[in-house]
Amino acid sequence: MVSEDLFQRAKRLIPGGVNSPVRAFRSVGGAPFFVKSAQGATLTTVDDQELIDFVCTWGPAIHGHNHPVIREAIAEALGAGTSFGTPNPYEVEMAELITRMVPSIKKVRMCNSGTEATMSAIRLARGFTGRDKIIKFAGCYHGHADSLLIKAGSGALTHGHPDSGGVPASFARETIVLPFNNRTAVAEAFAANPGGIAGIILEPYPANVGLIQPDPGYLEFLREITAREKAVLIFDEVMTGFRLARGGVQEIENITPDLTTLGKIIGGGLPVGAFGGRAEIMECLAPDGPVYQAGTLSGNPLAMAAGIAALKLLDDDAVYARLAKLGAQVQSAVSTALAAKGLPGQVPQTGSMWCTYFTAEPVRDLDSAQTTDAAAFARYFQQALTAGVYLPPSAFEACFISTAHAGTSIDRACDILSKTIAAL
């Protein structure tokens, strides 16, 4: 197998043989495959296996792979050069698109990844408020910046401890990790740190632990308490932004955060990130204000051209209606198969995002998500992969659907997943 040979070569030179840990298949077993091409909803491996792809580049490929409009936009931009190190017209058009489609964003700064976006938003919140502490929620992932690689301690008010080697304990002490969907924990954290909390950062629909929905009224509660405490509310919509609605979760839930972080779809498949929000907060950024943030390739013309094309393709309510219909089709097929087999399971789904938990317990936070049967998921993953469907290689990741899945791809995938569950 060519993939096996490539993986052995990679392991000699790349830590773990991969450039992002989840790709190593450690939690599902076996060795990763390598992809030589992708088109529409299909990946083709170097071993010539065709796979219906529900990872979609971990979210950006909402139009499927190698979409002709996006490819042509990149080609046109490429003809003028790959990078300038100066302002370029694409940056302005991107800013206009983002601020029109996400009304809470009055000003926006481009960067190169979701991690850069969340790291910068946290720094900006601290600079704007003059406070140090940040609240995050267990199970919400915000990239690999030091102060955000923190997990919860044993109590609701326990300061986090490093969730990675190389993160100083002093950094962790400035991050308060709380259980998601727990109002009391948030109120107690503010009471225990009067005037000390710069802001709250969260995935409004946590999707790096499967897919969790906020309790009714929970996001409104977070908006109210941060406004009252003069703290900054940051929605990390790197994953959900432009995927679930043009305006992301904040449009669906009718919540106006102070800052929003974006990525994935706004790069059309190329590396990208952005953060934006209230003008008075964004004006604290250099060169206007004292909070420094910079990037050599920020606003790269190729990434901007690809992202502009991707966003323009989404500027139609019918697109989201079609994606939601596809999502509901998968959810129904998997839920029906679990019930027919008599397996405990839940299949949360919203729009073009879904996941499968092998647990009977309602999932509303990290602890309940971790009751899922990871061994059952690993068997499900491997059998689906063998049959031609690629799911995220982790029991704690969301699946994604693209417009390219419509028709034969979604029908075949639902049949494969149903048969896979029946065979577990």
- How would DSSP label each residue in 137-195? ETT----S-GGGSEE--SSTTPBPEESSTT--HHHHTTEEEE-TT-HHHHHHHHHHSTT
Considering 236, 258, 380, 390, which one is annotated as catalytic?
236
Kindly give the interhelix angle for 317-341 and 408-423, rounded to the nearest 10 degrees. Answer: 20
Is-catalytic flag, 236?
A: yes
In 10 A of CB 17, how many CB atoms? 18
Tokens of 286: 């250099």
Q: Which of 153, 108, 137 is nearest to 219 (CA)?
A: 137
Is-catalytic flag, 215?
A: no
Task: Return all residues near 325 (Cβ < 8 A) that are at least 6 apart.
Answer: none
The C-alpha angle 139, 204, 240, rounded to 5 degrees, equals 100
3-state helix, strand, coil in the chain (%, to 5): 40, 15, 40
Tokens of 99: 């601020």
Considering 264, 320, 365, 390, which one is annotated as catalytic?
264
Task: Return all residues near 39 (Cβ < 8 A) that are at least 6 apart.
Answer: 64, 65, 66
* Angstrom distance (rounded) from CA 189 to CA 153: 13
Task: Return all residues near 264 (Cβ < 8 A) that are at least 6 apart.
Answer: 57, 58, 59, 60, 114, 238, 239, 241, 243, 272
* Angstrom distance (rounded) from CA 158 to CA 193: 12
Considering 90, 107, 136, 141, which one is annotated as catalytic?
141
- List phi, psi (to 5°) of 403: -60, -25
* Angstrom distance (rounded) from CA 357 to CA 363: 8
Q: Which of 335, 373, 352, 65 is nearest to 205 (CA)?
A: 352
End-to-end, the C-alpha distance of the chain in Å comes to 26
Is-catalytic flag, 264?
A: yes
Q: So which residues are the catalytic ones?
A: 141, 236, 264
